[in-house]
Structure 1
Amino acid sequence: MSRLPKRSAFRALLITAALFALGAAAVVTLPRWLPLLPDGDRALIKFERSQRQMRWSFGLPMPGEPDLSRLPERLEKAHLKEGSPILVRIFKSEFELELWMQRDGVFHRFATYPICRWSGRIGPKFREGDVQAPEGFYTVNSSALNPNSRWYRSFNLGYPNAFDRAHGRTGSLIMVHGGCASIGCFAMTNAQMQEIWQLVTAALQGGQKRFQVQVYPFRMSSDRMARYASSPNAGFWNNLKAGNDLFEASGLAPKVSVCGGEYRFEAGERGAAGADPIDDKCAGEAAKS
Structure 2
Amino acid sequence: MSKLLQPLILTILMLNNLNCSGQQQQTTNTLVDGDRVANARQLVGEKLAQELTQKGLKPGAAIFIRAFKSEQQLEVWVQDSLQFRWFKTYHICKVPGELGPKRKEGDLQVPEGLYWIEVFNPQSSYHLSMGINYPNASDRILSDPKKPGGEIYIHGACGSVGCIPLTDEFIREVYLLALDAKTAGQEKIPVHIFPCRMTEQNKVNLLARNQPHLMPFWENLAEAYDFFVEKKVVPKYEVESNTGRYSIEKM
Bin the TM-score by the shorter chain: 0.7 to 0.9
Q: Which residue of 1 aligns with 2:219?
A: 238
Q: Say yes or no: does 1:105 pair with 2:82.
A: yes
- Where in structure 1 are there 5+ consecutive unaligned residues? 1-67, 269-289
Deviation at 1:261, TM superposition (A): 1.9
Question: Where do 5+ consecutive residues of structure 2 fail to align?
Answer: 1-43
Match of 2:206 among 218, 228, 244: 228
The correspondence for 2:172, drawn from 194, 197, 205, is 194
Aligned to 2:102: 125
Following the alignment from structure 2 to structure 1, what is the Cα–Cα distance between the partners of residues 83 and 143?
A: 35
Residue 250 of structure 1 pairs with residue 248 of structure 2: no
Is 1:96 matched with 2:73? yes
**TM-score, with normalisation over the residues of structure 2?**
0.76
Distance 1:253 1:263 in 2: 13
Does the aligned pair in 2 maintain the 1:118–1:181 contact within 8 Å?
A: no
Greater RCO (CA < 8 Å, at least 6 residues apart)? 2
Q: How far off is 1:137 after superposition?
A: 0.3
Report percent identity of matched pairs.
37
SS in 2 for 1:117: coil
Is 1:264 aligned to 2:242, yes or no?
Answer: no
Structure 1 residue matching 2:104: 3-state secondary structure: coil
Once the two structures are superposed, residues 172-216 of structure 1 have per-residue CA deviations (whole angstroms, 9 ceiling, x without a partner) of: 101100011100000011011001111100000000001110000
Whole-Å separation in 2 of the counterparts to 1:76 and 1:139: 26
Aligned pair count reads 200
Kindly provide the amino acid, as one letter, of the partner of residue 170 in structure 2: Q
One-letter amino acid matched to 1:105: L
The question of 1:172 aligning with 2:150 is answered yes
The yes-or-no answer on 1:83 pairing with 2:36 is no
Matched, 1:162 2:137: yes
Tell me the CA shift for residue 224 of structure 1: 1.1
Q: Which amino acid aligns with 1:154?
A: S
Q: Residues 217-272 of structure 1, C-alpha deviation per residue, up to 9 Å, x if partnerless?
A: 0010111102222423111100000010001100101002100321111146xxxx
SS for the counterpart of 2:185 is coil
Matched, 1:145 2:120: yes
- 1:70-106 per-position Cα deviation (integer Å, ceiling 9, x unaligned): 3222111111111100000000000000001001111
CA distance in 2, matches of 1:158, 1:220: 22
SS of 1:148's partner is: coil
Q: Equivalent residue for 1:3?
A: none
Are 1:71 and 2:51 counterparts?
Answer: no
Q: TM-score, normalised by structure 1?
A: 0.67
8 Å CA contact 1:255–1:266 kept in 2: the answer is yes
**Whole-Å separation in 2 of the counterparts to 1:114 and 1:168:** 28
Opposite residue 78 of structure 1, the aligned amino acid is K
Matches of 1:172 and 1:227, distance apart in 2: 29
In 2, distance between residues paired with 1:228 and 1:187? Answer: 24
Q: Which runs of 4+ in 1 moved over 3 A?
A: none
Q: Judge conservation of contact 1:252–1:267 (CA < 8 Å) in 2.
A: no
In 1: Cα distance, 2:131 partner to 2:151 partner: 6
Aligned mates of 1:252, 1:165 — CA distance in 2:
26
Q: 1:123-177: CA deviations, max 9, x gaps?
A: 1111001111110000123xx1111011011111111100000113300101100
| Partner residue in 2 for 1:16 | none
Letter in 2 for 1:81: K
> 2-side partners of 1:74 and 1:84: how far apart?
13
Instruction: Determine the structure 2 residue equivalent to 1:287.
Output: none
